[in-house]
């Protein structure tokens, strides 16, 4: 019942004497609000029908409405929208309460971003360094240090490593089995988190991977004639999550100061619950997306020509397109995940 009913627009209650100054976000299209808009890449969502249920229309968010970075910032009482750092309209005031550096189609594996011509995780860190300089220049070293230390940091990537790199290109599979590839990427995740910590981040939530084999496009690609879940991809996601959770545990043993909070946030089973029990959460369709045929379209393939085929009401669908959940799904998932781990952040 808690899972089913917690769909609200209000921020959660933080512990006494706790302040969240900002929310900074790194990752892929799940939390990219438009950083890819001006990049020479096909991984974009700044055109209709993306954003059709969003007050500002298409912004580059890969959704019909808001995305998890927005909802997480709202849950922590910071703000309702986390803008893209690279948005020309982003101002100093936006930086002070957090921005997203995420880039659709990125991953821990450097090859993933390189193949898609998007911003790698290392590049997102460089943008964060630039952001810190702007904050220091705007409000001074002391206030900047407080903002950085009291912020929440969300890292959400890895799915593209599985679907776009490991299973769709010939570059990694000949050299790594499932566990080997998960370990390979866990090393990059470990280094990313250490570098982020080195820049002053202290409250870091690392989102695990979803059941990527059960998203509509992957069902179509690898699920056979019945479009079952692509189980090989799910097996890699589970192995990946075990390694990422292990990374968090190992870093906790190293970074032991009381103000350091490192949290692994499981998304795999909460999303799987929505997919397997859609009616319980108020959905009617869980195996197809709303956009176009719902079988495969995502990014530039979910475009204005998809509009006539698209569903009239995305709130009935777990997925907006062939790869990304709908805003309603995110509104159910984000409170579940944050509430489950709230005390670990403080």
Assigned token pair, 215: 């998203």
Q: How far apart are the C-alpha atoms of 68 and 62, rounded to whole Å?
A: 11
Task: Please report, to the nearest 10 degrees, the dihedral formed by the alpha carbons of residues 195, 196, 198, 203 taken in order.
Answer: -150
Q: Which of 32, 53, 87, 321 is catalytic?
A: 321
CA–chain centroid gap for 21, Å, is 20
Q: Out of 32, 63, 109, 324, which one is annotated catalytic?
A: 324
| Sign of CA pseudo-dihedral 206, 208, 209, 210 | negative
Catalytic-labelled residue, pool 21, 28, 29, 70: 29
Name 56's Cβ contacts closer than 8 Å, sequence gap at least 6: none
Distance, in Å, from the CA atom of 277 to the CA atom of 264, rounded to the nearest integer, reads 24
Active site residue 324: yes
Q: Please indicate whether residue 29 is annotated as part of the active site.
A: yes
Tell me: cis bond preceding 234? Omega within 30 of 0 counts: no
How many angstroms separate the CA atoms of 173 and 263, rounded?
30
Q: List active site positions.
A: 29, 321, 324
């Amino acid at each position: 019942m808690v899972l089913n009913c917690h769909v609200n627009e209000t921020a959660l209650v933080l512990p006494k004497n706790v302040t969240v100054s900002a929310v900074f976000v790194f990752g892929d299209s799940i939390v990219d609000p438009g950083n890819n808009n001006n990049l020479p890449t096909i991984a974009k969502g700044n055109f209709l029908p993306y954003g059709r249920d969003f007050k500002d229309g298409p912004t580059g968010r890969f959704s019909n409405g808001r995305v998890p970075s927005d909802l997480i910032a709202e849950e922590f009482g910071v703000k309702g929208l986390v803008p893209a750092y690279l948005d020309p309209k982003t101002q100093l005031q936006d930086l002070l309460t957090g921005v997203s550096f995420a880039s659709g189609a990125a991953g821990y594996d450097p090859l993933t971003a390189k193949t898609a011509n998007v911003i790698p995780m290392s590049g997102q860190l460089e943008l964060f360094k630039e952001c810190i300089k702007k904050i220091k220049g705007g409000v001074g070293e002391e206030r900047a240090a407080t903002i950085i230390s009291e912020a929440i940091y969300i890292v959400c990537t890895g799915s593209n490593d599985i679907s776009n790199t490991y299973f769709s290109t010939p570059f990694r599979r000949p050299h790594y089995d499932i566990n080997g590839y998960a370990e390979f990427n866990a090393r990059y995740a470990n280094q990313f988190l250490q570098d982020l910590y080195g820049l002053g981040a202290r409250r870091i939530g690392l989102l695990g991977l979803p059941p990527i084999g059960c998203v509509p496009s992957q069902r179509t690609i690898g699920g056979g004639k019945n479009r079952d879940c692509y189980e090989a991809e799910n097996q890699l996601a589970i192995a990946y999550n075990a390694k990422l959770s292990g990374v968090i545990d190992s870093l906790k043993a190293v970074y032991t100061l009381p103000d350091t909070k490192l949290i692994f946030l499981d998304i795999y089973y909460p999303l799987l619950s929505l997919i397997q029990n859609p009616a319980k959460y108020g959905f009617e369709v869980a195996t197809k997306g709303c956009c176009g045929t719902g079988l495969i379209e995502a990014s530039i393939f979910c475009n204005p020509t998809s509009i006539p085929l698209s569903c009239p009401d995305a709130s009935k669908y777990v997925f907006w397109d062939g790869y990304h959940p709908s805003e309603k799904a995110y509104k159910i998932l984000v409170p579940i995940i944050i509430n489950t781990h709230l005390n670990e952040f403080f």
